[in-house]
């Protein structure tokens, strides 16, 4: 979730003006809506984002997977879930500020065990499979968090609110988190073949205020620019992404988060 976002349908409508041999530029990629729409319609696209997590996510959406990837995801998810059921396992937890507001202790413990099993496979695993397992983890991680998305910006739920996956005992919590992970991974695996990319599109990491330093040198021109620029000093582009970025290793402390947020809105204008 990244606020604000625009729809694939809007981009596809705009792309009716572009042909299959044309090239689209998206200087503020975000969650990858523009390159994803281009890829599904067979139109090439170069996108840019300053957030390394969003670059990873965008390029993952643009990846073509073979038939074996879905089977590998399901098989690995079952093994990982078994490890997450161990209530005595000790695993790394991210240094997210006031992490106890996001998850209670049993839920946090189960998520840490799940994340550790993804990060440290017991057998060889393709990196693309690990990436898809990370997406499944992100789904469960945010589904089990004590947060609400009922407003324009994220807010924390009150203690008496329904907190989704959280159960009363550590064992029940671990089993619930593990089961939810398997469901998420299987859903991802089953949907990998729907509307696959049919054109080469890519998201590049860099600052769009200096596009020549970020984009590859090409012989042809960009035929269209489809984007939604950031809102300077109006909205944080990091706040709602922090849990994903801390768990996946893209952020390690609050200072780094603040600096990236400042860059994402172009500094203080």
Dihedral angle, C-alpha 14, 16, 19, 24, nearest 10 °: 10
According to the model, what pLDDT value does residue 77 have?
97
Question: pLDDT (tens digit, 9 = 90+) per residue, 6-40?
Answer: 889 999 999 998 988 899 999 999 999 999 999 99
- List all residues 6 or more positions away from 227 whose beta carbon is below 8 Å from its beta carbon: 25, 26, 27, 28, 34
Tell me how far apart the terminal alpha carbons of the chain are, to the nearest angstrom: 26
Q: Assess whether pLDDT exceeds 50 at residue 200.
A: yes
Single pTM value for the model: 0.90
The residue with greater pLDDT, 161 or 221, is 221
User: Which pLDDT score, from 0 to 100, does residue 3 have?
Assistant: 59
pLDDT band at 219 (very low <50, low <70, confident <90, very high): confident
Closest listed residue to residue 107, CA positions, set 156, 59, 176: 176
For position 167, what pLDDT does the model report?
46
Rg of the chain in Å (alpha carbons) = 20
């Amino acid at each position: 979730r990244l606020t604000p976002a625009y729809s694939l349908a809007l981009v596809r409508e705009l792309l009716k003006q572009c042909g299959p041999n044309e090239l689209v530029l998206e200087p503020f990629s975000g969650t990858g809506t523009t390159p994803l729409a281009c890829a599904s319609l067979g139109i090439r696209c170069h996108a840019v984002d300053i957030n390394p997590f969003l670059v990873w996510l965008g390029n993952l959406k643009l990846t073509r997977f073979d038939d074996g990837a879905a089977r590998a995801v399901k098989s690995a998810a079952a093994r990982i879930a078994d490890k997450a059921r161990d209530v005595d396992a000790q695993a790394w937890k991210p240094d997210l500020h006031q992490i106890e507001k996001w998850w209670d202790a049993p839920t946090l413990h189960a998520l840490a065990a799940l994340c550790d099993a993804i990060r440290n496979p017991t057998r060889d695993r393709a990196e693309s499979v690990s990436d898809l397992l990370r997406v499944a983890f992100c789904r469960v991680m945010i589904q089990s968090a004590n947060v609400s998305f009922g407003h324009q910006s994220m807010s924390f739920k009150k203690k008496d609110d329904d907190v989704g996956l959280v159960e009363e005992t550590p064992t029940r919590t671990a089993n619930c988190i593990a089961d939810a992970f398997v469901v998420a991974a299987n859903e991802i695996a089953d949907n990998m073949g729907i509307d696959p990319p049919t054109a080469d599109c890519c998201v590049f990491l860099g600052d769009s205020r200096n596009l020549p330093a970020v984009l590859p040198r090409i012989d042809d021109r960009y035929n269209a620019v489809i984007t939604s620029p950031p809102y300077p000093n109006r909205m944080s582009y990091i706040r709602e992404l922090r849990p994903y970025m801390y768990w996946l290793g893209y952020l390690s402390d609050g200072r780094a988060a603040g600096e990236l947020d400042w860059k994402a809105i172009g500094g203080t204008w």
